[in-house]
Amino acid sequence: MPHAAWTELEAVARRDADARILDQFAADPDRLSRMTLDAAGLHLDLSKQSWTRAGLNAALALARAADVEGRRAALFGGEPINSTEGRAVLHPALRAPDGADFHALGDAVSAEVEAVRDQMRDYAHAVRSSIETGATGRPFETVVHIGIGGSDLGPRLIWDALRPLDPAIDVRFVANVDPRDMAEALTGLDPASTLVVVVSKTFTTQETLANAEATKAWLAAALPAEGMNRHLIGVTAAPEKAAVFGCGRTFAFRDWVGGRYSLWSAVSLSCVIGLGWDVFQGFLDGAAALDRHFLEAPLEANAPVLLALAQIYNVDGLHRPSRTVAPYAHGLRRLPAFLQQLEMESNGKRVRRDGAPVGRQTCPVVFGEPGTNGQHAFFQQIHQGPQVVPAEFVIVASTLDDKSESPLWSNALAQGQALMQGKTEAQAHAELIASGASEAEADRLAPHKTFPGDRPSTAIVMDRLTPQALGALIALYEHKTFVEGVIWDINSFDQWGVELGKVLAKAVLKDVAAGAPSPDLDPSTAALLTRLLG
């Protein structure tokens, strides 16, 4: 562990806590140019972060001491950086151009990636051109995508961001085991023109299989048995289980593709069908461009590295355990939910790679809503609450038909300015007097209209929400998450924390089947189960 670098960062952060962000622009004339950069079509501005020049330098020294560059090479080299499961982590291979030469634990994988991409492209074209039809010969008009977690959040984000207003083939998503979710997805659909894509790495995920069984029954009630399997597609690393389930065709991905990093693979087949291959290829190209930037740019000009260091500086240096992400684009409304899984499932860990306690805060709580919606909800807290919540504004200059959306993005600029600048009680008092308030009324209201300011934010700007820009944005956050895990010395690629609840849920379902709680249940859970059993 780079103890000296951590000690230096914490010492500088204690000094930076008294240095107001706004004052740093005058104290450091090069601040803006050093803390803004462009990468793969994205523009990042980290100049409103809380660090001084010394703080940024200390953060960069920490990254070097943690060997971010060496670990980055291990990631792209296909080494077993998922140490608890002995796996490589090679989502960059999924978006690399044809002719790449990625290896997972020494085995070449790029040819296999290209073969699956060809299969996806050909099948999507067949569906979109009505060559591939259903059991009755009807072309497919709707895809129902069934998955959960990484098998849902990524494709759902892609579809929301890139879908046409009136798609030729619609895509609907089902994740929750609550039957209401499935009922809403199937309402108004004709089984004869509906294609169901079941996405599960192991094809054993409880929620996904329950929803898949319900959909299969819905299809079977309306379609002839012969040809019904054409309506069921499996995307899995266990194709034999998908075949037993009744899938007429399967698309594979490997165990070096983690769920929350799998949207670059056949997991997004539904989106490829709905959007067309050229759109998805642009998405892959944008991510590959960000991969090249991450590999080649020096740390001090490396977008994922700087974004990660800003978070670590806030979390560990200044003890700010949460962060909000506000995408100022309706198409990115699912981005906060996607990042909750990407970051909190990856880095919500309490032990280092060697099993010893981390001894410091790791991943913050990530939350958000699209702007300007969030401004009328939780922004009150981030402006005037006692705790400091760093903010991230994702800004799209044009969200529809190449028209500038200045009423939208001007709000993002104003929010970042207000968080940094604030308003003193004296300023609030003077404004009240100028508006005609009495001295007594101004004295009473001024404290309520005071904003402390000095609250950090980062802006990520794109001209338009193109497939390339979306791919670059998601890859940016993936590599940011990886860099943070390297510096915290944790494994960002396992997720044991989701397992215990799943195991216990199976035990509770046995008690439900028995009609009574088992003797080994704790009193609270037993009482709740008894109540729900009626």
Q: Tell whether the model's pLDDT for residue 110 goes beyond 70.
A: yes
Q: Provide the CA 211 distance to its chain's centre, in angstroms.
A: 24
pLDDT tens for 380-406 read 999 999 999 999 999 999 988 766 788
Backbone torsion region of residue 210, taken as left when φ is above 0, otherwise alpha when ψ lies between -120 and 50, otherwise beta: alpha
Strands 322-328 and 249-252: unpaired
pLDDT tens for 158-168 read 999 999 999 99
Domain 3-78+285-490 has CATH 2.60.120.10: no
DSSP state of 341: I
Q: What is the pLDDT of residue 7?
A: 97
* 91-282 fold: Rossmann fold (3.40.50)
Considering the chain, what is the average pLDDT of its residues? 96
pLDDT tens for 184-207 read 999 999 999 999 999 999 898 899
Model confidence at 311, pLDDT cuts 50, 70, 90, reads very high
Kindly list the domain boundaries of the chain, sorted by start residue: 3-78+285-490, 91-282, 498-533
Q: Residue 361 belongs to what H/E stretch?
A: none
Q: What is the pLDDT of residue 402?
A: 65
pLDDT tens for 207-263 read 999 999 999 999 999 999 999 999 999 999 999 999 999 999 999 888 899 899 999
| Strand positions, DSSP E, 10-54 | 36-39, 42-45
Contact predicate 514/526, CB 8 Å: no
Q: Active-site positions? A: 345, 376, 502
Tokens describing residue 205: 């995920």
Tokens describing residue 229: 């399997």
Q: Please state whether the predicted TM-score (pTM) of the whole model is above 0.75.
A: yes
Q: Which residues of 53-73 are buried (b: 16+ CB within 10 A; e: fewer)?
A: bbbbebbbbbbebbebbebbe
3-state SS string for 113-155:
HHHHHHHHHHHHHHHHCCCCECCCCCECCEEEEECCHHHCHHH
In the predicted model, what is the mean pLDDT of residues 33-43? 97
Alpha-carbon distance of 480 to 323, in angstroms, equals 14
Is the fold of 3-78+285-490 the same as that of 91-282?
yes
